Chains A and B, each alone.
Chain A
Amino acid sequence: MTAIADVWSRMVQACILGTAARDEKFAQNADGRQDSHLNLILSEIEEQREKFESKEELMLARLAAVGTALRALPRGSQSEETQATLRNYQVEECPEEVKALAPPAALSLLLQLVEDTSQAGQSIMKEWFKACLSHNSRIPEYQLPVMLERLKNVRAIHEQFMKCGGEHFSWLVRANAEWLEKYPQNLGQADTARLLKLIDEGNTLERTESFAQLRKLKPTEAREAILGDWKKEAAETRISFMQDMANGLSNEDEPFLQEALADKRIEVRTLAQRYLIKFEQSALSKKIEEELLHYLKYEKKQLIIDFAGIAENVEAPALGIAFRDMQLGAKALYVFDLLLKRPLTFYERSFALKPADIMKAIANNAEDGQMLLRAVLETAVIFPASRIWQEAILSQCGDTLMESEGGMKFLASLPQDLAEPVIKARLPVWARQGAVGAPRLDIWYHLEHTTFIWSADFTDAICDFIIKECSEKVPALNYTFQQNARAFAARMHISAATRIPQFESALNKSDNAISNYFSRSIMQIMEVLELRRNIESTFKQNTAKTEDRK
Chain B
Amino acid sequence: MVVSFIASYSQEEVLALAPDASSVKSGKELSSERKWQNLGSDGSAIWGECQGSGASPYKASIDLNGPAFKCSCPSRKFPCKHGLGLLLMAMANPAIIKEEEAAPEWVSKWLDTRGDRAAKKKDREEKPRTEEELVKLKGAKDKRRSDRFDKVEAGVDELTIFLSDLIRQGTGSLKNKPYSFWKDRAARLIDAQAPGLAKRLLDAGSGGGADYQEKLLLNLGQLYLLARAFRERESLSEELKEDVFTEIGFNQSQEEVLSRAGTQDSWAVVGQYFTTEEKLRIQRTYLVGENTGLQALVLAFAHGTMAFNQTLVPGKSYEGCLNYFPARFPQRALIKEQGAPKPIDTAKLKMVASATIGSAEREWGRVLALDPFAQSVPVFFKDCLIFHLDGSWWLKDSESNYYPVKADSLDCWQLFAFSSGRPFTIFGEWHVDHFMPLSAICQDVFLRVAVRQTKREILEASAV
Residues of A in contact with B (beta carbons under 8 Å apart)? 8, 11-12, 15-21, 53-54, 56-57, 59-68, 70-72, 74-76, 78, 83, 85-87, 89, 91-94, 104-105, 108, 112, 115, 141-142, 144-146, 148-149, 168, 171-172, 175-176, 504, 514, 523, 526-527, 530
If over half of B's interface residues share one DSSP class (helix, strand or loop), that class is named, otherwise mixed; here it is: helix
CB of A83 within 8 A of CB of B402, answer yes
B404 CB to closest chain A CB (Å) equals: 7
In the complex, A299→B121 CA distance in Å?
Answer: 101
Interface string of B368-405 (1 = CB under 8 A from A): 11001000000000000101111000101000111110
Query: Is B230 an interface position by the 8 A CB rule?
Result: no
Which residues of the partner chain A approach B12 to less than 8 Å between Cβ atoms? Answer: 108
A175: nearest residue on chain B (CB-CB)? B388
CB of A89 within 8 A of CB of B389, answer yes
Residues of B in contact with A (beta carbons under 8 Å apart)? 10-12, 25, 28, 32, 34, 51, 92, 160, 163-165, 167-172, 213-214, 217-218, 220-222, 224-225, 228, 357, 361, 364-365, 368-369, 372, 385, 387-390, 394, 396, 400-404, 410, 413-418, 420-422, 432-433, 447, 464
In the complex, A336→B376 CA distance in Å?
Answer: 74
Taking a contact as CB atoms closer than 8 A, the residue among B164, B389, B390 that contacts A54 in the complex is B164
In the complex, A11→B170 CA distance in Å?
Answer: 12
Q: Contacts A60-B164, A168-B417 known; list 6 others, CB within 8 Å.
A: A63-B221, A64-B224, A105-B92, A108-B11, A141-B417, A514-B51
In the complex, A91→B217 CA distance in Å?
Answer: 39
Q: How many A-B residue pairs have CB under 8 A?
A: 157
CB of A175 within 8 A of CB of B416, answer yes
Which residues of the partner chain B approach A11 to less than 8 Å between Cβ atoms? Answer: 217
Q: Would you list 28 pairs from A and B whose C-beta atoms are within 8 A, ordered by A residue?
A: A16-B171, A16-B213, A17-B172, A18-B172, A21-B170, A54-B168, A56-B164, A56-B165, A60-B224, A63-B221, A68-B368, A72-B365, A76-B357, A76-B401, A78-B402, A85-B389, A92-B421, A105-B92, A112-B28, A115-B25, A141-B420, A142-B415, A142-B418, A145-B410, A146-B410, A176-B388, A514-B51, A526-B34
CB of B217 within 8 A of CB of A63, answer yes
B301 CB to closest chain A CB (Å) equals: 27
Which residues of the partner chain A approach B402 to less than 8 Å between Cβ atoms? Answer: 76, 78, 83, 86
CB of B170 within 8 A of CB of A20, answer yes
Which residues of the partner chain B approach A63 to less than 8 Å between Cβ atoms? Answer: 217-218, 220-221, 224
CB of A20 within 8 A of CB of B213, answer no
CB of B224 within 8 A of CB of A61, answer yes
Which residues of the partner chain B approach A504 to less than 8 Å between Cβ atoms? Answer: 34
A94: nearest residue on chain B (CB-CB)? B420
CB of A172 within 8 A of CB of B224, answer no
In the complex, A85→B392 CA distance in Å?
Answer: 12
CB of A85 within 8 A of CB of B390, answer yes
CB of A145 within 8 A of CB of B170, answer no
Taking a contact as CB atoms closer than 8 A, the residue among B164, B218, B372, B417 that contacts A172 in the complex is B417
Which residues of the partner chain B approach A530 to less than 8 Å between Cβ atoms? Answer: 32, 34
Which residues of the partner chain A approach B225 to less than 8 Å between Cβ atoms? Answer: 61, 64, 68
Q: Max chain B CB contacts within 10 Å: which of A53, A60, A145?
A: A60
A74 CB to closest chain B CB (Å) equals: 4
In the complex, A67→B372 CA distance in Å?
Answer: 10
CB of B164 within 8 A of CB of A57, answer yes
Q: Which 10 A-B pairs have the closest CB atoms?
A: A18-B170, A63-B221, A145-B413, A56-B164, A60-B224, A64-B225, A64-B221, A93-B421, A76-B403, A94-B420
A470 CB to closest chain B CB (Å) equals: 16
Taking a contact as CB atoms closer than 8 A, the residue among A56, A78, A108 that contacts B168 in the complex is A56
B387 CB to closest chain A CB (Å) equals: 5
CB of B167 within 8 A of CB of A70, answer no
B55: nearest residue on chain A (CB-CB)? A514
Which residues of the partner chain B approach A75 to less than 8 Å between Cβ atoms? Answer: 432-433
A69 CB to closest chain B CB (Å) equals: 9
B319 CB to closest chain A CB (Å) equals: 25
Which residues of the partner chain A approach B364 to less than 8 Å between Cβ atoms? Answer: 72
B3 CB to closest chain A CB (Å) equals: 16
Taking a contact as CB atoms closer than 8 A, the residue among A57, A66, A68, A93 that contacts B160 in the complex is A57
Which residues of the partner chain A approach B447 to less than 8 Å between Cβ atoms? Answer: 142
B411: nearest residue on chain A (CB-CB)? A145
CB of B420 within 8 A of CB of A168, answer yes
